[in-house]
Each structure stands twice: as C-alpha cells, then as structure tokens.
Amino acid sequence: MEDIEILQDIDWDNLTFSLTPARSMYIAEQRDNNAWEPGKLVPFGNVSMSPAAGVLNYGQGVFEGLKAFRTSRDRIVLFRPENNAVRAIDSAERLCIPPVPKEMFVEALLEVVRDNADYIPPCGKGSLYVRPVIWGTGEVLGVKPVQSYTFLVFVSPVGNYFKSSEKCLHLKITNKFHRAAPRGTGGLKAIGNYAASLLPQKLAKKAGFDEVIYLNAANENFVEELGSANLFILKDQTLVTPSLTGSILPGVTRDSVIQISKEILNLEVQEKTVSVDEVLDADEVFCSGTAVTVTSIGKITTDETFRIISGGKIGPFTRRIGEIFSEIRNETVNDQFKWLYPVF
C-alpha cells in the first residue's frame, strides 16, 4: 500500500465513540422502483428531503454499523463487510425497502473508506466507524412504502465505546420494557428499534446502571440481548448465548465470538434459551457488538436481587476473547477465518 497519511489535527489518544465528521460520504438514489442509480462521493454534510419523507414519518429506514482498521502491517481493512451487506438486505426486505445489492453495498463502503483513509486512527488507537443507512426519502401521507430511496454511507473515527478497556458493566435486567416482539423487527436493524430503546437506557443510566438486558416479550422467561449488543455467559467451560429466535439481532461480532470460541479456544458453544437464573449463576458474562467489541459484565441486578460476576472483574475467558479479536484485527496473528477485507 502507498503510505496513507494520518491527519495531524485529531487527538488520536483521546478518541471517544462520538461523531467526528470526515471528508466525504457516499450517496446513491433509487427512484420509481427502478434499479439503484450509480452512487457518488459528496462532501460530508446535511441532506435535504421532504418533510413527508417515509423515513421521517413512519421510520421506513434501516442502518448498519461496521469498522475499518489500520493494521500492524500497515494495511487498511474492513471487518466482515459482506455480513453487514447481507443483514442490510434482510432488514430492507422486511421494511419494503429495495435492497442494495451486496456488491454495490461493499463497493460503497470501500469508496468511502478509501477517500477518508487519513481519518483512520493509528493501529491500536481506534477505528473508522462506517455507518450505511437506507432511507425511504420519497413523499408519503398514508402509511405505505414510498417511491424513492437513498443509500448513504458516512464514516467517523472512533475510540473505545467505554472510557476504560478495563470497564466492567453493571446491567439491569428489565421487565418494564421489551425491545422486540415475536415476529416483529428485533432481528433486523430497523431504525425504529433504537428510538424505542432510548427511554429504557436513559432510566437505567439515571438509576446507576450502564444498560439494560431485555427479556423475551412473549413470557419474560428468557434473556435476549442489550439495546445494541448480544449477550454471552460462560459456565463450567461452556459458552452459552441466546439462540436467534427472530427477536435478537444476529450480530456479526456474536458470530465471530462463537467461531473463535469453537475453533481457537476449543470450547463447547450452545445457542439456546437462557434463563435469568443461568445468567446470575454464570462464571463470566459479557456482551459483544461492533461498537463495544467484547465487554465484560461484572454486576447484574434484577428487581429482586443482584449478583457480582467473576469478582466484578474481567474474567480470563472474556479477556482472552477480546485479545484474540484485537490480534486478528491488528494482523498480529494470522487471519485464519478470512475476516479482514482489504481496502488498501
């Protein structure tokens, strides 16, 4: 790769998970049920649309989130972008949005990352968060799919989601709110899912918790996931995670944790229903997601009780999984699963 300069005017040592606008974004349009028109890069900035746009009135929109990294071999890579492309297709189909073909989706990611490569933090100091969105931008009054759509990809350099990598979360298992109904949109990245998670999150933070764990809406017998991360427990050297019943987002990181655990750590992995008691009784509990990567959960509170997990510290297995992720992404070990998609 030719040397990509790194911008000098960003404080790379103090990045947080917040928006730092980059140079450009990708935008493509789809009109009147025709094919997606070729997209182009434009300066990052505001977009204009009718106040009657479907996305603004009825939430006809989906999004994705993934990261690009600068590796120790001075390459720039995306992490498993084809998985996000496929998930975006599934999400779009459920919301009557014309899906963006996989090749076009990945090509758009590459174009934006290449044009903003100098915004990618130095290796080990963070990543370039890539946010594709597909919005119904056509006008509508009655509740129905619109006639035109916009596919847009913007990026932002980000650091850790939580201030310290040693952070252990304190979570509340909530039965005041549900995230996703059976046969609803919980298994997809529909934008409306996230607006509904703001109040539970806000109330949890006000009460001193970092986030909530949601129960299944049908009978509240099982844990599902957090507002934006999947849940894992380790018990007696078996890794357990709630099975994908349709109301849980099929996380790319979740899938990666499962593969690392099976193939590298030789652990048994079970995808099944997981009760609250199993979570409280676990040796280690952690959550996984693009934003949080792998984050330890050190304390869990329910309405009746609370439990300190793994002494309130990061357990050895959780730590090892996190290290393996970093090693693969930084290319300090062989990418045996072929997860890294070269940008340069």
Ligand X SMILES: Cc1ncc(COP(=O)(O)O)c(C=O)c1O
Q: Locate tokens 């903003």: which residue?
A: 116
Task: Please report how close the Cβ of residue 164 comes to ligand X at its closest, in angstroms.
Answer: 21
CA dist 186 to 76, 131, 228, Å? 32, 19, 11
Q: Which two tokens stand for residue 273?
A: 């229903």
Task: Please report how close the Cβ of residue 213 comes to ligand X at its closest, in angstroms.
Answer: 11
Residue closer to ligand X, measured from CB, 234 or 252: 252
Q: How far is CA 58 from the centre of its chain?
A: 23
CA dist 34 to 30, 60, 100, 227, Å? 6, 18, 12, 35
Residue closer to ligand X, measured from CB, 170 or 254: 254
Residue nearest to ligand X (CB): 251
Q: Which two tokens stand for residue 266?
A: 């030789």
Residue closer to ligand X, measured from CB, 146 or 239: 239
Task: Please report how close the Cβ of residue 138 comes to ligand X at its closest, in angstroms.
Answer: 26
Is 189 known to be catalytic? yes
Task: Please report how close the Cβ of residue 228 comes to ligand X at its closest, in angstroms.
Answer: 4
Task: Please report how close the Cβ of residue 193 comes to ligand X at its closest, in angstroms.
Answer: 7
Q: Tabulate helix, strand, coil % of the chain (nearest 5).
A: 25, 30, 45
Tell me how crowded residue 149 is: count the other CB atoms within 10 A of its CB. Answer: 26
Alpha-carbon distance of 96 to 220, in angstroms, equals 30
Residue closer to ligand X, measured from CB, 150 or 201: 201
Q: CA nearest 148: which of 27, 40, 41? A: 27
- State the DSSP H helix or E strand holding residue 55, giving kind and residue range, or none if neither: helix 54-58
Contact positions toward ligand X, by CB under 6 A?
A: 65, 225, 228-230, 249, 251-254, 288-290
The identity of residue 119, as a single letter, is Y
CA dist 319 to 167, 268, 293, 340, Å? 11, 18, 11, 21
Alpha-carbon distance of 146 to 96, in angstroms, equals 9
Taking each helix axis from N to C terminus, what angle separates 252-263 and 316-329, rounded to the nearest 10 degrees?
110
Which of 172, 189, 202, 338 is an active site residue? 189
Task: Please report how close the Cβ of residue 292 comes to ligand X at its closest, in angstroms.
Answer: 8
Residue closer to ligand X, measured from CB, 24 or 160: 160
Residue closer to ligand X, measured from CB, 36 or 222: 222
Which residues are marked as active site? 189
